């Protein structure tokens, strides 16, 4: 009997998560209520609260596992010291873009729902802590390419870099092409974008140094 109850509970949680993911993707996080999720899943609005405290709990359950997996892949690239700093930055950027394109329907939920500032040290929500860890990995990869850049300039450069990556993803969010085809076709362009940004950051750094010397 206990085994049947566990299976039923697992099935119910799966149904609720599936319904939440569908509704979040279609309508956005803020527009969806717990009652609507319960209805989409085929359960009463009281049943959903037995399994999930609130929408933030659903957001956490849906988003954390894939974002943790992305973090591990990015860390592996960052630790590959046989590659140059620029190659690691390109690799970590392509990994991030590929992940976002693979999860196009949930992309804005994974990175936008209940989001905090990327430079916030201790955000309240665990998902924002993880999002900011992903940002810091990109920032670290960028710092390895700009070793002598001041901290304030590094943060500004990292933000610009981060916004650019999200802009690239946003351009292809509704593309009919599959992620693999997009990556094969556009990876050289993505790499060019990284090179152009690095050149710009380096020039900015030189101008600041000269200005301070004068």
Tell me 150's DSSP state.
-
Extents of the domains making up the chain:
2-51, 62-213
Fold of 62-213: Tetracycline Repressor; domain 2 (1.10.357)
Which pLDDT score is estimated for 186? Answer: 94
Report the alpha-carbon distance of residue 193 to residue 203 in Å, rounded. 15
From first to last of its 214 residues, the chain has per-residue pLDDT tens of 557 777 888 899 999 999 999 999 999 999 999 999 999 999 998 999 999 999 999 999 999 999 999 999 999 999 988 899 999 999 999 999 999 999 999 999 999 999 999 988 889 999 999 999 999 999 999 999 987 667 778 889 999 999 999 999 999 989 999 999 999 999 999 999 999 999 999 888 888 767 776 6
Report the alpha-carbon distance of residue 85 to residue 74 in Å, rounded. 14
Kindly report the CATH number that applies to the domain delimited by 2-51: 1.10.10.60
């Amino acid at each position: 009997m206990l085994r049947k109850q566990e299976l039923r509970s697992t099935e119910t949680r799966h149904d609720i998560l599936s319904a939440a993911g569908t509704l979040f993707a279609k309508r956005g996080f803020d527009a969806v209520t717990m009652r609507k999720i319960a209805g989409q899943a085929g359960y009463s609005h009281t049943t959903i609260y037995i399994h999930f405290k609130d929408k933030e709990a659903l957001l956490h359950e849906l988003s954390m596992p894939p974002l943790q997996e992305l973090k591990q892949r990015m860390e592996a690239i960052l630790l590959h010291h046989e590659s140059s700093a620029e190659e690691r930055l390109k690799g970590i950027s392509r990994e991030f873009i590929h992940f976002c394109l693979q999860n196009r329907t949930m992309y804005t939920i994974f990175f936008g729902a209940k989001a905090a500032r990327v430079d916030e040290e201790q955000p309240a929500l665990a998902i924002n802590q993880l999002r900011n860890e992903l940002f810091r990995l990109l920032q670290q990869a960028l710092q390895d390419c700009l070793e002598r850049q001041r901290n304030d300039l590094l943060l500004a450069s990292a933000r610009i870099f981060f916004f650019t990556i999200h802009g690239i993803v946003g351009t292809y969010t509704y593309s009919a092409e599959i992620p693999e085809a997009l990556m094969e076709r556009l990876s050289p362009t993505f790499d060019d974008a990284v090179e152009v940004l690095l050149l710009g950051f380096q020039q900015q750094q030189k101008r600041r140094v000269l200005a301070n010397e004068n």
